[in-house]
Amino acid sequence: MAETDQYTIDQFYRFISEGRLMAVKCNSCGKQTLPPRQICPECHSENLEWIQIGTEGRILTYTIIYIPPKGFEDMAPYAYGIIELEGNIRLPGIIRDVDLDDLKVGMKVEVCFDRETSDKWPNWPRYYFRPVES
């Protein structure tokens, strides 16, 4: 089995390192899932495929983190939101390059790719969001 046939979180982040935002689509019921799962949570089908999804979305809700977790100390305070993407897919993450006073529910943002990885587990790259220029 090719690695891309595996519907794993590791594979999702491998796609991120290639600058692609991929989700899993169920060919039985049509549900699109992110994070990927090996069994469709809706209908239990294993007839799945990776699909590339658009990078534009909107903020469903957000917070501004003033007391950051380990590894994020240099960035605080920073905006963190849950973003709705095409196909009712939701993804959480940091919203960069935004004036914290401008944050709003419904604001349009896009997914960007930070392809850098380290040798340390889990050696995943990171994605983030930034406002779409209007």
The residue ranges that bind Zn ion (CB under 5 A) are 26, 28-29, 31, 40, 42-43, 45
26 binds, among another protein, Zn ion, none (CB under 5 to 8 A by kind): Zn ion
80 binds, among Zn ion, another protein, none (CB under 5 to 8 A by kind): another protein
Minimum CB separation from another protein for residue 2, in Å?
22
Residue type, 75: M
d(CA 68, CA 61): 18
Both structure tokens of 29? 């019921």
65 binds, among another protein, Zn ion, none (CB under 5 to 8 A by kind): another protein
Residues contributing to the site for another protein (CB under 8 A): 9, 13, 35, 43-44, 60-72, 75, 77-78, 80-82, 90-94, 105, 122, 124, 126-128
Both structure tokens of 48? 């799945």
Residue closer to Zn ion, measured from CB, 40 or 111? 40
| CB contact set of 1 (below 8 Å; sequence gap of 6+) | none
The residue whose two tokens read 């605080």 is 76
d(CA 55, CA 20): 9
